[in-house]
Amino acid sequence: SHGFVPSECPPMGLETLKIDDFQLHASTMRRYGLGAHRGRLNIQAGLYDDDLYDGAWCAGRNDPLQWLEVDARRLTKFTGVITQGRSSLWSSDWVTSYKVLVSNDSHTWVTLKNGSQDLVSNVLFPVAAVARYIRVNPRSWFNRGSICMRVEILGCPMPDSQNYYHRRNEITTTDNLDFKHHSYKEMRHLMKVVNEMCPNITRIYNIGKSHSGQKLYAIEISDNPGEHEPGEPEFRYTAGSHGNEVLGRELLLLLMQFMCQEYLSGSPRIRHLVHETRIHLLPSVNPDGYDKALEVGSELSGWSLGRWSQDGVDIHHNFPDLNSILWEAETKKWIPRKMLNHHVPIPEWYQSKNSTVAAETRALVSWMEKIPFVLGGNLQGGELVVTFPYDRTRSQGVSREQTPTPDDHVFRWLAFSYASTHRLMTDARRRVCHTEDFAKEDGTINGASWHTAAGSMNDFSYLHTNCFELSMYVGCDKFPHESELAEEWENNRESLLVFMEQVHRGIKGIVWDMQGRGIANATIQVEGIGHDIRTAADGDYWRLLNPGEYSITVRAEGYSASSKVCEVGYDIGATRCDFTVSRTNLSRIKEIMERYNKQPIRQPLRPPVRQLQARRPGPRHRLPVQCRNNYLTDMFTSFILASNIF
């Protein structure tokens, strides 16, 4: 199927679920979990072989009389069919040849002909067929397996303004955007066009290179591109760490066009977002993988072609496993004496040249350390759910287990803010993508309770930087057909904006010294939450919090701790909570000693020894005050130097 020629008609939507379960019928089925409703291209099986959600339609009998049928519910020009075998860890079931039949009433069937031969295993039909129903009739199958299929039908609905089903499902967009799949060169060109349209609020830069040398381009959207403004939070969206999950890449390209257009047209919402936030969009983390998937196209890239980097690494799970380091320190009661509960350092082995770390991952780590991001989202594909940390289970050998962070309530709110504003994620009536019904969980899930994975971008971001990072699985279909992009944009547009606005929730402020200078790397502690953050280079900070009252303590090396109560309201807009801290006496002494190169602070004005001997201080004879003070200062300084306290 690699010689696939693009059809004049798009996929009808078995994979995207536009075709609902009631439109799929079959001659027989082995059991419910292998019914006609599971015969969808790229559908994934559950973990176990007898799962209710299995990975194909499988016939109840193995004979040439079996069929899988699609009811288009209107006259349709059918132009092709794409088939796969069963998705299973345990079984090898696939069809090796089949006939295709069409009908207008589901009783009288016409077999499509290719010359004098019945049509067998072709992807595109030699001549399009207009009908309402289409059947795939397996004729031969893998000799050790059974009749099992996953299918997509290519077809164009014929014009019919009276058709109820079409009108009900039709979604149009009023946004004038470039709804197409963009190659690397086209992506770069589009970013340049956006930059030229909005030069005052955009800047293109790259964070590094892929394994094959393609630059990883990002666009910044801000009222002062190129500089961090004290008090203004930094936000990021990334996409395409799995190169075959391309919807996120296109959504970010659409988002940058949309924000530029809306800014120019004076939209108060977008103008406020741009003026108050520094936004970074990185649409393609794994351009090498994307190229592989693009080469065979949206319908034939399958489930995993292009997922990994050029050198075979899953970039999203290629970060250092800091969870283990933190949890071991907690078990040994090292926190906070030997180790802090935040900014966990990267282990040395990870930084060595020989470690299996992708070039793309190293570029991301450097970018995440360089910019004081507050909130981030990485767009994934193949599901409809938002996941939040931790992504790794704490218990060894457990594949699924609720593993919350100290900021679990904040993460749950952030995840819900995206899911609840998505057109489909929280819709209880929607059909599950594959095996999990996430709509029951409000379209969100703790990553580790879905499936455990060490070294995720989300866990690393939370434990090594200040940034709260979540994953948005933005659609059932990893690589939707171009004709689906406008609808997918409508599904995700509001969510993308609402999630960005959440960066302004909680408290923010600046930590100053008594001279009004910002203090970098001061620790911001929230009472009752065992995860601290740090101030940025200018002394500014942002702490994401849900509404409520919080006792905040600031600590900085050489300064006295300072605490105050800060209240977070329900309206968007972080509460200002500044701190001014004073130097400790010890740090003052240290500073003075460093200034004088550890010499005594001033030379004592002692009387001569003979004079001291002649006038030993008795009850009525004491040293002069000035002399006595100098003597004590000298003794104190000598004691400090001798003790080598510093």
Could you read off the pLDDT of 360-382 as tens digits, one per residue? 999 999 999 999 999 999 999 99
Token pair, residue 478, equals 């990893």
Contact 321, 356 (CB under 8 A): no
Decide the pairing of beta strands 383-388 and 444-446.
parallel
pLDDT band for position 643 (50/70/90)?
A: very low
Mean pLDDT computed over 137-152: 88
Residue 404, preceding bond cis, omega within 30 degrees? no
Confidence of residue 4 (pLDDT cuts 50, 70, 90): very low
**pLDDT (average), residues 121-143:** 87
Residue, of 467 and 602, whose pLDDT is higher: 467
- pLDDT given for residue 300 in this prediction: 77
pLDDT, position 167: 46
Cβ–Cβ under 8 Å, residues 43 and 432: no
Q: What is the mean pLDDT of residues 599-604?
A: 53
Q: How many C-beta atoms surround the C-beta of residue 569 within 10 A?
A: 11
Confidence of residue 3 (pLDDT cuts 50, 70, 90): very low
pLDDT digits (tens, 9 = 90+) for 556-566: 999 999 999 99
| Of the candidates 410, 388, 382, the residue with the CA atom closest to the CA atom of residue 456 | 388
Strands 540-543 and 507-512: antiparallel
Q: Would you give the DSSP letter of residue 475? A: E
585: Cα separation from own chain's centroid: 45
pLDDT exceeds 50 at position 644: no
Tokens representing 10 are 């798009």
Residue 386 is inside which H or E element, if any? Answer: strand 383-388
pLDDT at 370: 97
Give pLDDT, residue 5.
46
Residue in the block written with tokens 């995440």: 368
Give the mean model confidence (pLDDT) for residues 303-319. 93
Note the pLDDT of residue 596: 75
Please answer whether residues 425 and 436 qualify as being in contact, where contact means their C-beta atoms are separated by less than 8 angstroms: no
Measured distance CA(239)–CA(189) in Å, rounded: 18
Which token pair is 256? 């940058």
Percent of the chain with pLDDT over 90: 70
d(CA 283, CA 18) in angstroms, rounded, equals 26
What value does the CA radius of gyration of the chain take, rounded to a whole number of Å? Answer: 32
Look up the pTM and report it: 0.83
Residues 6+ apart with CB under 8 A from 27: 59, 60, 65, 66, 67, 68
CA atoms of 460 and 405, how far apart (whole Å):
12
| pLDDT(628) > 50 | no
pLDDT at residue 7 greater than cutoff 70: no
pLDDT digits (tens, 9 = 90+) for 47-94: 665 667 888 999 999 999 999 999 999 999 999 999 988 887 777 788
Partners of residue 273 on adjacent β-strands? none
The reported pLDDT for the residue numbered 156 is 92
Provide the residue type at 195 as one letter. N
Q: Is the peptide bond before 541 cis (omega within 30 degrees of 0)?
A: no
Phi first, then psi, for residue 155 (nearest 5°) are -170, 150
Kindly report the three-state secondary structure assignment for every residue of 551-563. Answer: EEEEECCCECCEE
Per-residue pLDDT, 591: 76
Which tens digits make up the pLDDT trace of 549-599? 999 999 999 999 999 999 999 988 999 999 999 998 887 787 777 777 765
What does DSSP assign to residue 597? T
Q: Which amino acid is at 35?
A: G
Check if the beta carbon of residue 344 is closer than 8 Å to that of residue 463.
yes
Instruction: Encode pLDDT of 247-269 as tens digits.
Output: 999 999 999 999 999 999 999 99
pLDDT value of position 163: 55
Using CA atoms, how far apart are residues 19 and 437, in angstroms rounded to an integer? Answer: 18
pLDDT the model gives residue 2:
32
**Placement of tokens 């004729």 in the chain:** 139
For 361, the token pair is 């991952």
Contact 236, 468 (CB under 8 A): no
Q: How far apart are CA 456 and CA 336, in angstroms?
A: 24
Long-range contact list for 258-266, CB < 8 A, 24+ apart? 258/175, 258/177, 258/493, 259/221, 260/194, 260/197, 260/198, 260/201, 260/202, 260/221, 261/175, 261/176, 261/177, 261/197, 263/198, 263/201, 264/197, 264/198
**636 pLDDT above the threshold of 80:** no
37, 43, 44, 48 alpha-carbon torsion, rounded to 10°: 20
Q: Which residue has the higher pLDDT, 49 or 142?
A: 142
pLDDT in tens, 205-238: 999 999 999 999 999 999 999 999 999 999 999 9
Banded pLDDT at 173 (limits 50, 70, 90): confident
Output the average pLDDT for the chain: 88
Contact call for residues 318 and 26 (beta carbons, < 8 A):
no
Report the residue count for the chain.
646
